[in-house]
Amino acid sequence: MNSTSPNTSHLNIEPVLKALAAALHGEGPAVELSIGADGALVVGHIETPGCDDAVAVVRTSGSTGAPKATVLTVESLAASSMATALALKGEGQWLLALPVQYVAGIQVLVRSLFAGTRPWVMDMSGGFTPEAFTAAALELTDKIRYTSLVPTQLQRLLDDPSPDTLAVLRRFNAILLGGAPTPPALLDAAREAGVRVVTTYGSAETSGGCVYDGYPLEGVSVRVAADGRIHLGGDTIAAGYIEAPDEETGTFFEEDGVRWYRTSDIGKIDDDGRLTVLGRADDMIITGGMKVSAADVQEKLEKSDGVAAAFVTGVPSEEWGQAVAAYVALAAAGAAGNPEAGPATDIDGLRNSWQRDLGFAAPKTVLTAPALKMLPNGKPDRLAMTAELSALHQGK
């Protein structure tokens, strides 16, 4: 491993790197990372019955239910790391700016181990801030540099960025962006700023992102089943869940020698092989006997002036069966792409325009906030926002 100056971040990454390296070489048990009550990183070990080459166990985010313990193997992580290097046209030094207990964070470390480069860890003891990110990025020494972010982080970095922040962003050979759908306006802002962004699609079950900018990585297969669900296959697919065998969950299956993962997303594949994710299979809202796509409503809400982000779901309703409800984050004044928006956004005016444009699909309950509720890994906290919207709607 190439050496650089000591990492002075609050997070001591050395025990994690050693434990992952030992597991990758078959010299140690599988690693499970968590955050203790004191906020410190805990490097634990876990038994993986029936899987001798397990490297790490990652708990899914639990954004739509109880977290599942996903087993990642030497084969799946090696395949993912190699395919990523091919897609990015080289290995390099990685900046860790995501929680290390989730798959995107672990992959930063695993790719570094395979590449023989030294990862640098951003100090997030004060939360994710442009200043802390910029300071960490300035410590990178390799010519080829990468990082992984979620859309919320990139949005913060591009909202009125300092010259230093813009400079370090442009210095990355690629910034992998995943974990949640990326608003088109954010991609446009990044490209206009000269930042090289690669959108990724995947999950812990696929060893992280396995579809880049809509196209599968080398060795990854993508198809859309008759029910519209996206299936991902190949060597990057995880060994399964610790809690339940494949036949019980129906999530993983073998077909013609290929291991597949049945996602909870619906999508389409264009004639050129590009995958478009249309939304979650459970995003369909049946309201008053009519079908409403939560993803479509969310997209329309996010195009409204003064709206930074939105989450749309169905909540119980005596009158409608389900009612369309929206958790709306209002754009701050001076935000990228919304220079005129601010806390004084006319929400009543927005609701009137949504009613006019969307008709029966317009949200009947709207909760506004400065930002969406997020999980530690940067994904929207769907359960928490749905609970608040349900309480606000009161079953009407």
Domain range annotation of the chain: 14-275, 288-393
Highest mean pLDDT among 10-19, 232-241, 272-281: 232-241
Q: What is the pLDDT of residue 117?
A: 95
Angle at 157 between CA 89 and CA 103, to 5 degrees: 55
Give the H or E element holding residue 96: strand 93-96
Q: Which residues contact 141 (CB under 8 A, 6 or more apart)?
A: 4, 5, 93, 118
Task: Tell me which fold the domain 288-393 belongs to.
Answer: GMP Synthetase; Chain A, domain 3 (3.30.300)
Q: What is the pLDDT of residue 231?
A: 98
Q: Over the stretch 316-364, which tens digit does the pLDDT of each residue have?
A: 988 888 999 999 999 875 444 444 444 457 888 999 999 999 998 999 9
Q: Over the stretch 91-114, which tens digit does the pLDDT of each residue have?
A: 999 999 998 989 999 999 999 999
Distance CA 130, CA 133 (A): 5
Q: What is the pLDDT of residue 344?
A: 55
Q: What is the pLDDT of residue 280?
A: 81
Q: What is the pLDDT of residue 243?
A: 79
Q: How confident is the model at residue 10 (pLDDT cuts 50, 70, 90)?
A: low
Cβ atoms of 290 and 325 within 8 Å: the answer is no
Q: Which two tokens stand for residue 291?
A: 């079908």
**Mean pLDDT of the chain, nearest integer:** 89
In terms of pTM, does the model score above 0.85?
no
Q: What is the pLDDT of residue 127?
A: 85
Cβ atoms of 123 and 9 within 8 Å: the answer is yes
Average pLDDT over residues 38-55: 88
Cβ atoms of 229 and 265 within 8 Å: the answer is yes
Distance CA 53, CA 101 (A): 19
Domains 14-275 and 288-393 share a fold: no
Q: What is the pLDDT of residue 375?
A: 87
Backbone φ, ψ for residue 197 (5° rounding): -105, 135
130-134 contact pairs (CB < 8 A, 24+): 130/156, 130/157, 130/161, 130/162, 130/165, 133/97, 133/157, 133/165, 133/168, 134/162, 134/164, 134/165, 134/168
Q: Over the stretch 122-149, which tens digit does the pLDDT of each residue have?
A: 988 888 999 999 999 999 999 999 999 9
As its CATH architecture, domain 14-275 has: 3-Layer(aba) Sandwich (3.40)
173: Cα separation from own chain's centroid: 20
